Amino acid sequence: MIRVVGQARCAGAVVESDPWLELKISWLPRPADQPLYLRLSGSGGGQVELKFEGETGRLLQAVIIDTPPLLDLDKEERPIAQPDMSVPVVDLSIWGSKENADVSTPARSIVEMVADLSYSKSERIKVLRLSEAEVSDYCGCQNAWVGVSRHGELATIAALDVSHGA
């Protein structure tokens, strides 16, 4: 489980898609420091890479490397009418910690996990599911939004499909 512990302001979101890359979302601003990587392999297939800011846990980027199984679970998913210009902040404990003098830093920069990945898309919307948890709250930034379960789990990442001129 990827635990969401808060939200951070977002200056914008860039959604990309092409024949080789199903979906890539980058949230702004981009930090100068090296991000933390979370590589998710789907229990039924697919692979996703998420990048987070090392100091805060702010979500920076989501990339579908290998498309997870296609499911029609998200036919009701719709863009947020009034995005709050925020992204989730996650608990950094999955990267472990090492103590360096006065500063606590992650023990690893890359963590690999298995998740219940699935993917769905309509004419306008692409939805990556990171778990089977039901979404109860959203935070959004321009044409991308993230769903969080009532238990604080990062559940979905969605965007308007830019490949169709949306």
So what's the pLDDT on residue 72? 72
In the chain (166 residues long), the average pLDDT of successive 10-residue segments reads 95 92 94 94 96 95 96 61 85 85 75 95 89 91 93 94 57
So what's the pLDDT on residue 13? 95
**Where in the chain are the domains?**
4-164
> Residues 98, 103, 106, 108: is their CA dihedral positive or negative?
negative
Going by C-beta distance under 8 Å and a sequence separation of 6 or more, which residues neighbour residue 84? 7, 139, 140
Q: Do the Cβ atoms of 30 and 60 come closer than 8 Å?
A: yes
So what's the pLDDT on residue 105? 79
So what's the pLDDT on residue 74? 52
Q: Tens digits of per-residue pLDDT, 125-160?
A: 899 999 989 999 999 999 999 999 999 999 999 998
So what's the pLDDT on residue 76? 53
Query: How far, in Å, are 20, 40, 113, 114, 117 from residue 44 at the CA level?
Result: 21, 12, 13, 10, 7
Separation of alpha carbons 50 and 37, rounded Å:
6
